[in-house]
Amino acid sequence: MGRMNMNDSGPVVLGLQRSFGFGDRLGLAGPGHVAVARANPGFAPVFAQQSIRELARTDREPEDVLHAARTAVEAGGWDRPWGADADHLKTPEDVRRTVAAGFTFFTFDPSEHVDNTADRMSESGLSAAVAKQADDGVYGEESVVDLYREQSYELDDRSVIRFDEESLLRAAVKYGRAVHHCAQLSHVLGDACSGRLYEIEVSVDETDTPTSPLEHLFFALELRRRGVVIASLAPRFVGDFEKGIDYKGDHADFERHLAEHIAIARTHGPYKISVHSGSDKFGIYPIIGRVCGDLLHVKTAGTSYLEALRVVLRVNPPLFAEIARYCVDRFETDRASYHISTSPEDIARLPAPADRGAEAAYLGSDAGRQLLHVTFGSVLTRGNTAQGRPFKEAILEALESHADLHKDVLTQHLGRHLEQLQAG
């Protein structure tokens, strides 16, 4: 069907090599992203990456995201493989829409089918929930209890995971419907791609509690039993992966936990471990790079948007000040859908955005970064300057007229990401 040949500059599947996702909400970060990728050949780049939620928050279509990436690839003379990630797909409609646009990498987000109450259910509650799942056809003809109860699985690091009855039921109640949903999306994807190559990621990074090794193994075994081959899986890790700032939590705990996940991914895949909200986690990048080896994918997006605002701040301080004041007004409302620790009191302590130290305060502090991060949708779709000009238009103009600076700040900031990932 689709034209696919070696001369085409379009996205392809990347397979099991280290990869890095460069989300670009404004469509102008591509030249910087291509430059960073060129300087770091150890990572296969994903130049197009946007979630359905971000599309809505930026008033973009999947086609716009691919077009921007392809334009940067062609202009930058990039001639190696690159990927296109349709991120956080929840419905068959999301899948069909992004296949039609030409994406190659599809991230399924079954979070609406994860039952977070499983962690607190009584044993009889768990049994009843599993019986209901069976009635609903979640496991097909099989019994999940017969499949896994008292089964032990040895991983390649010699550790063993055993499904005792209670932990099996908890994992099944929590993730059974989510796996089933992923299998359904996978059928839709296979049909929609009809012969075109594609790869799948499954993300459960937005659940209430960290993904335990046993839960991860259950998910992997169930995907495989249903014939769903994945390129990567995004667990919810221990500690806090807040948007736009460094990791919060114990580094040794994180390393142990990550090592357990990667052992499952090696033994029962192999597939990559995918790190979502991967921007600015400098403190743990060396650990991530060392522990995951080649089985690593990292996603970033917000950090490139913040670098765009850095350009605005430097070239048009009054515009930046207007945007920042608007963000302060929006903060209480917009923070609701994010997991961040910055409080309105922290925001109130920021200096005025027209002050001399604005760059350090707004782009160098956790509070400033999270303020700008959570409000991007409002800024890009609703905010206007005092003259009534949409902020988005004014931002794009500033970036277009200072393309070299934009490229430089992106190259520097994302370059640090990739260097640290290779520093372990």
Q: Which residue is nearest to Zn ion (CB)?
A: 276
Binding range to Zn ion, per CB under 5 A, among 34-42, 154-162, 197-205, 250-258: 197-205
Q: In b/e form, how buried is each residue of 57-76, taking b as 16+ CB within 10 angstroms? A: bbebebebbbbbbbebbeeb
Residue 276 binds Zn ion (CB under 5 A): yes
CB 66 within 8 A of CB 84: yes
52 versus 129: smaller Cβ distance to Zn ion: 52
Least distance to Zn ion from the beta carbon of 10, Å?
A: 24
CB 378 within 8 A of CB 334: yes
| Annotation marks residue 201 as catalytic | yes
Least distance to Zn ion from the beta carbon of 299, Å?
A: 7
Residues 157-176 that bind Zn ion (CB under 5 A): none
Binding range to Zn ion, per CB under 5 A, among 39-47, 128-136, 201-209, 364-372: 201-209
Binding range to Zn ion, per CB under 5 A, among 200-208, 328-336, 349-357, 367-375: 200-208
Tokens of 195: 């012969």
- Long-range contacts of the stretch 56-60 (C-beta < 8 A, 24+): 56/377, 57/376, 57/377, 57/380, 57/381, 58/25, 58/26, 58/376, 58/377, 58/380, 58/381, 59/380, 59/381, 60/25, 60/27
238 versus 315: smaller Cβ distance to Zn ion: 238
Contacts with 59 (C-beta within 8 Å, 6 or more apart), sequence order: 380, 381
State the catalytic residue, choosing from 54, 85, 87, 94.
Answer: 87
CB 19 within 8 A of CB 46: yes
Residues 30-59 that bind Zn ion (CB under 5 A): none
Helix residue ranges per DSSP H, 136-164: 144-148
Q: Which amino acid is at 195?
A: G
57 versus 392: smaller Cβ distance to Zn ion: 57
CB 297 within 8 A of CB 272: yes
Residue 307 binds Zn ion (CB under 5 A): no
Least distance to Zn ion from the beta carbon of 373, Å?
A: 14
Residues 101-120 that bind Zn ion (CB under 5 A): none
State the catalytic residue, choosing from 115, 201, 205, 260.
Answer: 201
Tell me the site size for Zn ion, rule CB under 5 A: 2
Binding range to Zn ion, per CB under 5 A, among 9-17, 18-26, 274-282, 403-411: 274-282
Q: Which amino acid is at 205?
A: D
24 versus 322: smaller Cβ distance to Zn ion: 24
Q: How far apart are alpha carbons 385 and 383 in whole angstroms?
A: 7
| Annotation marks residue 93 as catalytic | no
Among 94, 201, 205, 307, binds Zn ion (CB under 5 A): 205
Name the residues annotated as catalytic: 87, 201
Chain residues binding Zn ion by CB under 5 A are 205, 276
